Structure formats: structure tokens, C-alpha cells
Structure 1
Amino acid sequence: MFRARFQSELDRLRASDGPVVVGVSGGVDSTVLWRSLHEAGVPTVAAHVDYGLREASGEDAAFVRALGAELGVPVHVREVTLGPGNRQALARGARYRFFREVAEGSGAQTVAVGHTADDQAETVLMNLIRGAGLSGLAGMADEGPLATAPEAGAAQKWSRGIRLVRPLLGFARREVEAEARARGWAWREDASNATDAYRRNRIRHHVLPLLEEEGGPKTVLRIAASAQAARRASGDAADRLARVGESRPDGGRVPLAALRALDGPDRLALLAEMMRAYAPQASIGRAMLEAIEKLLDAQAGTRAGVAPGTEVWRDRESLTVTRAQSAWLGASVRVGEAVETPYGTLALTPLAEVADAYDPDPNREVVDARAFAPEAPASRIAYPSTPLTLRLWCEGDRIRPLGMRGTKLVSDVLTDARVPSSERRQRLVLTSGETVLWVVGLRLAHEARLTPETEEAVEMTWAPNEHAPTA
């Protein structure tokens, strides 16, 4: 019965075509998964992580190596030292990074792990406790892209082309253990599973047994089935996000109109999917979703910090999720050169003739070369010009806009141009010394204007990246 159901799951998950990387701790779940895949004729590669947190961890690695030798299957073992912080989260990140490496090295397109219906029930209950909403009720997916974090605290990355599958998610843990006993398969016991130090363990030892007393031995299977139904509903939210959302390298945005058109539960489901897709490192809970929902009635420019390095902005027409990127410190540029930045490319090109013609393109300006080196003599472009600086604007920056007598704060220029709050910090200025010559793509300085005395002109062209990172 077990083997027939297992084969059915493999067929449904399209996991029969190998090689498949199997995450093997040595515990009963991963051992049964590995042996069952092997018996089903699936080529496997085992991956085991030794965190060195227990005296017996070396024996776990030896067990996995011995089983690999018995099955004639290659085994990869990685010893990992965890840093300070949430050890469970750090271990999970290290584990999946290693699985990705093994998959890439072996040419595998699938990674299989041994989560059972009990693990699913524990996950759903943990998510309920913290109010994670529909996406939390959905628990773990039985298949999907392998998500990994490059380092502790970093955002998730999706391993292109590599799937993560959980063939045992429809089996109760007692069924898996019964199969192991019936087949005479040995496994390792992790002593840390017996402690109540972790919330998951407390749910496993105390909450689930109480629920099973009330609902019977199939309680965990019913919870897992409910999670599957919630995943289908969550899939509806994912489809809706795909239609109305706009993904960016540093996050994404959803139109206010699309959110306001939904009722409460559907709106929260879309917000949860927005955060899952655009800020996967954030821990999604009901309190977070309600804080984001309040932005719908807030003034444009209001923001909510929802996770370290992640903010949600209420712009004029959308909610925008932004994730902080590494700081860009600016660049020097000379006439006759082009400079690439994370935000776009600026080129300064000397012109053979001075042409004072109006150009409606805000990303192109023709200016007097004297603005770049006012102290230089005539024919200044033939001399090494003073390098200009292209940088992000700062509070207190001022510009004398073309045609004005006085100066104006760059922040006011951005406000007048109705630059969305979520994009203001991405705007650049071109400076010569302390003088702002151009709020790039928006306003030119009076000092750079063409005059009847202009002898040499420079064309400034700005090619913005389609999606610039958050500053």
C-alpha cells in the first residue's frame, strides 16, 4: 500500500526522472524517502549537512555514508559552522544552499526532502499562531522552485531550473515509521527532537497529540488536506498578482485600484502574495498585512517598515515594496566618456556645432561646456576637463533651475515633478564641485544653459535602467 501510494506521488510530481538530489539527515523520514526512491528506480544523489551541534552528528554522517555505500549511491557531506542568530533558520539556509550546489554539480533538476503530513500540520499551526493569513494556512508546497538564501539574513534567491519536491507530504509520520519497521530499515534518532526548546517541538509533543485525541489519528492528514485547499486559494492570489503586479529587481508594486476592488479576505490574500513574491525574506503575519492594508487610506508618501531592509510605500497610484540594495557611492565622469551606474548610463558627448534647439526628451540636454570647467580657457574640451560627479541626491542639495534667479532644494524639484516617494531616493544629480548642474532627467541648472557666447557645447544623455535598485 505504501509503495503504491509513493509511486503515485512520484508520478504526480514528475519526480521519477533522475537524477534526484535527496536531502538525507539520517532520520526516519529522509531514510525512507531515499530508500523508496532507490527502489522505484530513480537515480539519486544524497546530500547530508553536519552542523556539529551534537556529539552524535558525526555518527549521523557516517550512517548516511554507509547507507550510500549499501545502495551504491554517491553521498555528499558538508560540515557547517552556524553563526549567531536563529539556529534553525541558519541551518535551513545552509542546508538548501548545499542542496542547490549538489544539484548544480550533478546535473539534477530536482531536490527531494522528507517532510511528512505531520511536518505540514506543525507548520500550519505555527503559522496560525503568528497570524500568517491564507499563505500561512497553505503551509509547504509539495513542489515548487528551490528557494535559497545566499547568506544569513539575505533575501531568498530562486535556483533557476531546480525544483524542490516533497513526496511524503501526504503521508503521516506514523505511516513512514511503520514502513521502515516493516522493511527492517534502520535510521538515526536526533536527540534535539526530544527537547521542548523549540516551538515546533512543543507543537509536536503537546498540541498535535491533544488534537489527535479529539479528532482521531487522521487529524494531521486532514490538516494537510486543508493546507492543500488553502494553497489552491493562494494560487488564485498568485494568478491575480501576475495579472496586476509589476515585479522589479528590488521589489515590486501593485495598483491601488486593484487592491481596493477586492473585499477583505481576498485583499489580504493579494497583499500576502505581494509580500511573498516581492519580499520573500520577510516573515509574513497578520499584523504585517494589516499594517500594509492601512496604507491604502494613508497619504501618498507614507511608508511602513515591514522587515529589516524592506519597506512598503503608499505612492499616488500603487503600493510599492522596496528592498534595500548595497549603497552606491557615485562615480566620476568626464566629457567624452560614458559611465554606467546601477540606475542607468550617462554619456557626455562634445558636439561639433552648437545647436540651441528645444528637445522634449527630459533625458537629453545640450549645455555649455563652460559649466563643466568654468576656470578653463577657450577650447577647454581639448584640455583634460575637471571630472564631474554623478551621485544620488542628498538632503540639502540645491540647484538654480534654468531661468530662475535663486536656488531651489532638489527635494522640492522632485516634489514638483511628482516623483513617487518610493523612487525619490533613486534620483541622481550631476555636480561640478558643489554646484548641481542637472537633476538627471528632471531639471537643468541655469549655469549650464546655452548662450550667444557659447563656443562649445556638450550633449548629456541619460539612459535609465528599466528597473533601478532601491538606494
Structure 2
Amino acid sequence: MQLDLPARFAADLGALWPEDERSGPLGLAVSGGPDSLALLLLAHATMPGRIAVASIDHGLRPEAAGEVALVERIAAERGIPFTPLTVTLAPGNVQAKAREARYAALAEWAQEAGLGAVATAHHADDQAETLLMRLNRGSGLAGLAGVRASTTIDGTDVVLLRPLLGWRKPELSAVVEDAGITPALDPSNTNPDFDRARLRARLDEADWLDPVQIAASAAHLAESWQALNWYAELDWHEMVMRDDSAPGGLGYTYCANVPRVIAIETILAIIAALGGHATRAEAARAWDRLWAGENASLGGVLAVPGVERVEKVGVMMRVWRFRPEPARSLN
């Protein structure tokens, strides 16, 4: 391994996870493919004795058990603690359900093992593919931000890191090759039945596109999304008031005076506070109706628009009242 690569990895990891914030070992999700094996090798060279490895069998391919065994052997040769994980997928979109099950298993492993964070091997090429796929689907800012360099696993406080987002896939493959390791190759990565595989093939042909720069754009979008979230939280605290006079004593009044993209996040927060759930697309449609002066119903919540004088600001404003949707009559 080139001498500068561990230093580069250490810098990238340190930017996401400073030394003084580390409360336990770094857990690595390693599939046996070239990207995650490079993550293992770089982390081991950078912080030996302070990492642990898990490999997941999703039960989708007979080769998966052998890939887990490959990772176990490589970890054992380096004295790295290893945990095999097996998941059962819920019905539905296979790739989406596999992702949900994988992260849930990693979170449970991290909590049981006392890990400080979990890292995955997403790299610049992955990020570029994600951004282009979501652009093609008309995604909003939340989707265009791509995979986050640092976040938490959904529903938990387990820190999730992606320190390789500035690295190209060929660089990572070279790390594994230099170590004399033959990685496992997942055939789904080149299966044209999957959108990502088709896009990956096209990107390989478009040598004028720079995945690192595309990934950098995704990082800029992520910063914009973080700023929007900050403003939405401020909007929640400043412009949303609990309404105990609502039927059942549970409701919220929202003084809607911010750009639509921020109001959508506030609407989602109100729906969640009332025990409901809605998508951003549903919240966007609700905003359109409310702004036009029409009632909106979403996530089991009824929203009624109006214009009132708001005492705290002393002006007339759009005021939207949210309450649980009345039960429908069966007659």
C-alpha cells in the first residue's frame, strides 16, 4: 500500500469523526467486494486494534456465505474482531428491503459491541450514480444531497460514516490488488435489470464526467439541505403553536410565512407531532392546497387554512390549523 494512502484515509476519517469525539472502536461493514475490502485495509493500516468488522448474508445468493467467510479470513489474519450477520428480508422491493435490513443489523451490532461509529465503503462513483439517478427522478433537495458523509442510522443514535466519498473506485480496487487479495464480485452490480447497473455502464463510457466533482456537488447540496433543516427547525419553534382548543385538545396552529420548501418540512413535523406520517410529496401537495385556501388532509391529519392577525408579529398572516382528522362515519 502506498505510504500516503493511510494518511489520506486518516484525514478523511478525522474530518468526519474527530479523535476527541470517539467513544469506541470503528465498526466496518465489509461485504467482500473490492470497495469494502479497501475500507478494511485502509482502516487497519490507520488505526490497528481500534476497528471491528461485520459481514452480512442477505440470503439472496448462494455465494454470499462464501463471501462472508472470505471477510472472516481476511479479518482473522489481521487480528480484527469479526461478526457474521444474517438478515431476513421483508416483502417488497428487494434492494430497498435489503438496505433496511442491513442497516438495522449494523445498528444492533454496533450497540451490542459498544462501537463508537459504523463506516461503509460508499465512494465517489457511488455518490455520482446516486445523484444522477435522483436528478433523473426529479428528486427534491433531500434526495439530491445524496448519501451523507456523516449521519445516524435511521431510528437509532448509531453514528454512520462514509469516509471514502472522495475516493474513486479504481483507487480502492488498487489497494486490494496491492494487498494480493482477490475480492468477491457481486453480479448484481452489472445486472442491467437494475437502474444503477445500467447507469454505471453509461458512466463508464462517459469519460468526460468526473465522479469526484459530481460527488462534491452532492456534498454542496447536503450543506444546503442542512441549512434548510436549520431554518425549518427555527420555523417550528417560532411559528408553530400548540392549540389546546382543537377538538380532543390536540392540535397545532402554524403561521405560514416561509418559502414552500421550508414549510413542507414544518408540515411534516406537525404531522409527526400529531402521530401521523406523510411523505414530502404529500406535504408539498398539502402546502399547495393550503396556500390556495383549500383544506388538506394527509397522514390522518386535517389542515384548515385561514388568515388572521398574529399578535406576536402584529400583522395579518396565513394561519393554518392542524388537528387529527375526524373519524369518518360508516353510515
**Structure 1 length-normalised TM:** 0.57
Q: Percent identity?
A: 32
Hey, what's the Cα distance between the residues in 1 that align with 2:265 and 2:137?
Answer: 14
Change (3 A) 1:7 1:245: same
Q: SS at 2:118's partner residue?
A: strand
Q: CA deviation at 1:180?
A: 2.0
Aligned to 2:207: 213
2-structure distance, mates of 1:81, 1:184: 33
Matched residues, number:
295
- Code of the residue aligned with 2:303 in structure 1: it is R
Tell me the equivalent position of 2:312: none
Q: Does 1:258 align with 2:250?
A: no
* Structure 1 residues 74 and 228, CA gap change in structure 2 (3 angstroms): same
Change (3 A) 1:226 1:273: farther
What residue number does 1:315 align with? Answer: 304
Query: Based on CA coordinates, which of the two structures has the bigger radius of gyration?
Result: 1
Query: Structure 1 residue aligned with 2:96, among 89, 99, 106?
Result: 89
Q: Which residue of structure 2 aligns with residue 30 of structure 1?
A: 36
1:455 equivalent in structure 2: none
Separation in 2 of the partners of 1:193 and 1:13? 28
CA distance in 2, matches of 1:195, 1:273: 40
Residue 289 of structure 1 and its aligned partner are, at CA, apart by 6.2
Q: 1:232 aligns with which of 207, 223, 226?
A: 223
Choose the corresponding residue for 1:172, options 153, 164, 168. 168
C-alpha deviations, 1:66-123, integer Å up to 9, x for none? Answer: 1121121221112223232111111111111111111111111201111001111111
Whichever residue aligns with residue 135 of structure 1, its letter is A
Give 1:396's aligned residue.
Answer: none
Q: Which residue identity lines up with residue 65 of structure 1 in the other structure?
A: E
Q: Structure 2 stretches of 5 or more lacking a match? A: 242-250, 308-319
More strand by share: 1
Report the Cα offset of residue 13 of structure 1.
1.3
1:54 aligns with 2:61: yes
Displacement of 1:176 after TM fit?
Answer: 1.2
SS in 2 for 1:52: coil
Structure-2 residue corresponding to 1:19: 25
| Paired letter, 2:194 | Y
Q: How many angstroms apart in 1 are the aligned matches of 2:172 and 2:277? A: 32
Residue 330 of structure 2 corresponds to residue 423 of structure 1: no
Q: CA RMSD in A?
A: 3.1
Taking a change above 3 Å as real, the CA distance of residues 254 and 101 of structure 1, as seen in their structure-2 partners, is farther
Name the CA distance, whole Å, in 1 between partners of 2:266 and 2:218. 16
Tell me the secondary structure at the aligned position of residue 315 of structure 1.
strand
* Residue equivalent to 1:7: 10
Report which of the two has the higher share of helix. 2
The match for 1:297 is 291
CA distance in 2, matches of 1:15, 1:51: 32
Contact 1:144 1:164 in 2 (8 A): yes
Q: Distance in 2 between matches of 1:178 and 1:312?
A: 54
Inter-partner Cα distance in structure 1 for 2:224 and 2:8: 25
Q: Is there any run of 5+ residues in structure 1 with no aligned partner, and where?
A: 148-156, 305-309, 319-418, 427-471
1:353 paired residue number: none
> Could you tell me which of 192, 201, 205 is aligned with 2:188?
192
Q: Do 1:240 and 1:270's aligned partners in 2 also have CA atoms closer than 8 Å? A: no
CA contact under 8 A between 1:138 and 1:229: conserved in structure 2?
A: yes
Preserved contact between residue 124 and residue 169 of structure 2 (Cα < 8 Å): yes
SS at match of 2:324: helix
Q: 1:200 to 1:73 in 2, by over 3 A?
A: same
Higher relative contact order (CA 8 A, sep 6+): 2
2:115 partner SS:
coil
Deviation, 1:25, is: 0.8
Change (3 A) 1:57 1:188: same
Matched, 1:76 2:80: no
